[in-house]
Amino acid sequence: MYAARLVRALLWPRARMVECGGDTTALIEAWQGEPAVLVVDAMSSGAPAGTVQRLDAARGPLGAVFSRGSTHGLGLAEAVELARSLGQLPASFVIYGIEGEDFGLGTRLSHAVECAVREAALRISEELLAARN
Amino acid sequence: MSDRKSRNIKVAMLARVEGEGGLEVRVRNGRVADVKFRIFEPPRLFEAFLRGRRFTEAPDITARICGICPVAYQMSSVHAMEAACGVTVDGQLRELRRLLYCGEWIESHALHVVMLHAPDFLGYESAIHMAKDHAGQVTNGLALKKTGNAIVALLGGREIHPINVRVGGFYRTPTKRELRPLVEPLERAREQALAMLAWVKGFGFPDFERDHEFVALRHPYEYPLNEGHIVSSLGLDIPAAEYERHFVEEHAQHSNALQGAKRAPVEGDPGAVKSYLVGPLARYSLNFDRLTPAVQQAARDAGLGPVCRNPFHSILVRSVETLWAVEEALRIIAAYEPPDAPAVGVEPRAGTGEGATEAPRGLLVHRYRIEADGSIADAKIVPPTSQNQRSIEEDLWKFIEPRLELDDATLTWQCEQAVRNYDPCISCATHFLKLRRVEDQRTRRC
């Protein structure tokens, strides 16, 4: 969310931004009719904290790094695959994942993650600008 | 700061009841000799770190116990705190609490019915696989969930871990105009709930019944959410304050999970206990007459009677309850008049209070002892998952017995389906259940 807000506030005010606080199934409806969607999310893949990964979800199934594996809500991977099954995945669907460091309640962003947020925001903005042109 | 880069911090014990379940079946001479259902549950960290916190913090802290039923934890906690402080919340604030709970029931039940349980009945590995062939029903279920989420977001401040609930009421109550946008989606939700019920009615259900002792809330005139006595199908009828006189939680040696049990002393064994069942089947069977006539008829049309003892029919009952919750939400909104204040004043006093409400998965009991200064001295939280574990184990034993001729893969599938009858918190991900069949002296692993 920090990355998305940074992109919206500083670099790309006109893009339609949707924040999702937990129920990723709501995203499926949010991206209805959109030709291109870019999602930024935290991930826990075992990579060093602050790693930024770009995944082209339109090309094929996502891995487990975005899967929450919980009955309490679908993870982003499940929501994407569900949309794919329903024929509701946009033609262009890119995910930027930022490797987290501490997922404890109430903790602030670590230095590594804060740097990664800025990096992700810049890369997302560049991608959006390139797509616009 | 530089050494933090190489640190690995692991949380060995998570404070939620969810995760992998293990099942071990012991067969002797072609008969089931033992069934052990293991759940990994950590120590009740919430009960511990509530101590010393202010009584007003309980709804916000306990909401974090669950991501899909935070309202249930908030409701049980505020009712318990208000009981301790000698306060009753009534009128429109009470109605708003019911409306909030309806939102949670709708989204929780829809998620479970469509995304978690239906794939079992239709032979799909997951809802994602099922969606290709049942896109309309999955979309229908997602729409229901969205409507439930909208109610929770409006009244609770956000969909997950609401922030607008407080001891005494709410921080802010809506105007009539603010509630109005919920009406149209709820009217569609009524049709969506009927469609969901019509869909699940056509599933194949194993012929399996159990003579559980049902336990649920019962209210003088309402289908229960926040209030009522705790009753059972064997005649128990007690206020929430007497819960611990009749029910216990025990640590079973073969599992890290606490198991709820009902005291059942007999001659020679004053400490004897027995299993009981909470949740939709119990609630429905003990309160069928509290459903509206239209919902009762919908239940009958789906093949249900006033009492339901087949755990596999829980998907039908959840669908019926979804319909009821939609109608109840519409009723509350139609009659709503904004209260004079968003909350009643609650002054702390030394004492103990209990709160029992009906989470989507069943009876949820909180008990707090607070000091005169409002600090929490002691807390006890008994989720429906804990209370149902004995029944789950017993049910699995009886379910497996006549099905031993099945191959391991088929038996595992059916056992997972049987577990999902009771509680989605346990059946989290694909292949959550590792069936280990021990036959005589040989062990075959699945």
Domain ranges, ordered by start, for chain A: 2-132
Confidence of residue A72 (pLDDT cuts 50, 70, 90): low
Task: Show residues of chain B in contact with A82, CB under 8 Å.
Answer: 127-128, 131, 138
pLDDT (0 to 100) of residue B404: 82
Chain B stretch 110-169, residues whose beta carbon is closer than 8 A to a beta carbon of chain A = 112, 115-116, 127-129, 131-132, 135, 138-139, 142, 145-146, 149, 158-160
Note whether B5 contacts A48, CB cutoff 8 Å.
yes
Closest partner CB to B18 (pick from A21, A49, A71): A71
Q: How many angstroms separate the CA atoms of B60 and B277, rounded? A: 28
Q: Which residue has the higher pLDDT, A24 or B158?
A: B158
Residues 6 or more apart in contact with residue B442 via CB below 8 angstroms:
none
Task: Give chain A positions within 8 Å (CB) of B122.
Answer: none
Residues of B with CB below 8 A from A78's CB? 128
- Segments forming the whole domain that contains residue B118: 45-212+292-383
Given an 8 Å threshold on Cβ–Cβ distance, is B425 in contact with A71? yes
A70 touches chain B (CB under 8 A): yes
Chain B residue whose CA is closest to A67: B429
B149-192 pLDDT, tens per residue? 999 999 999 888 899 999 999 999 999 999 999 999 999 999 99
B192 with B143: CB under 8 angstroms?
yes
ipTM topping 0.90: no
The domain that holds B362 is classified in CATH as: 1.10.645.10
pTM of the model: 0.87
DSSP labels for A24-93? THHHHHHTTT-SEEEEEEEE-SSSPTT-EEEEETTTS---GGG---BTTB--HHHHHHHHHHTT---SEE
Nearest CA to B388 out of B305, B285, B280, B316 is that of B280
- Where is pLDDT greater, at B154 or A124? B154
Taking the CA of residue A78 and the nearest CA in chain B, the distance in Å comes to: 7
Chain A residues in contact with B159 (beta carbon < 8 A) = 21-23, 26
User: A131: distance to nearest CA of chain B, Å?
Assistant: 30
User: Is residue B428, in this structure, part of any structural domain at all?
Assistant: no
The answer as to whether B445 is a domain residue is no
Q: Let me know: does B23 contact B415? Beta carbons within 8 Å.
A: yes
Count of residues making up chain B: 446
The residue type found at B354 is: E
Query: What does the pLDDT read at residue B99?
Result: 98
**How many pairs of residues across A and B have Cβ atoms under 8 Å apart?**
68
Answer whether residue B7 shows pLDDT above 50.
no
- pLDDT tier at B424 (50, 70, 90 boundaries)? very low
Q: What is the gyration radius of the CA atoms in chain A, in angstroms?
A: 14
Exposed e or buried b for every residue in A49-85, given b needs 16+ CB within 10 A? bbbbbebebeeeebeebbbbbbbbbbbbbbbbbbbbb
For residue B138, which residues of chain A lie inside 8 Å, CB to CB?
Answer: 82, 85-86
Spatial separation of the C-alpha atoms in residues B372 and B92, rounded to whole Å: 29
**From the candidates A20, A23, A27, which should be mutated to test the interface with B, based on the most B CB atoms within 10 A?**
A23
Quote the tokens at residue B206. Answer: 């194993």
Q: Does B106 touch chain A (CB under 8 A)?
A: no
Does B335 lie at the interface with A, CB-CB under 8 angstroms?
no
Please say whether the beta carbons of B168 and B345 come within 8 A: yes
Instruction: Look at A21 and B116 and tell me if their CB atoms are within 8 Å.
Output: no
Residue B326 — pLDDT band, cuts 50, 70, 90?
Answer: very high
Judged by CB atoms closer than 8 Å, whether chains meet at B67 and A72 is answered as: yes
CB-based contact, B9 to chain A, within 8 Å: yes
> Which of A26, A78, A85 lies nearest to residue B149, judging by beta carbons?
A26
User: Is A72 in the B-facing interface, judged by CB distances under 8 Å?
Assistant: yes
Domain assignment present for residue B9? The answer is: no
What is the overall mean pLDDT for chain B?
Answer: 86
Torsion of CA A19, A24, A26, A28, to 10 degrees: 110
A2-132 folds as Rossmann fold (3.40.50)
Rounded mean pLDDT, B190-218: 96
Say whether pLDDT at A20 is over 50: yes
Q: Does any domain span residue B104?
A: yes
| C-alpha torsion sign, points B125, B126, B128, B133 | positive
**Higher pLDDT among residues B353 and B405, named by residue:** B353
A23 with B145: Cβ contact below 8 A: yes
Number of domains in chain B: 1
pLDDT > 50? residue B85: yes
Answer whether A22 sits within 8 Å of B131, measured CB to CB: no
Is 50 exceeded by the pLDDT of residue B1?
A: no
In A37-66, the residues whose Cβ lies within 8 Å of chain B are: 48-49
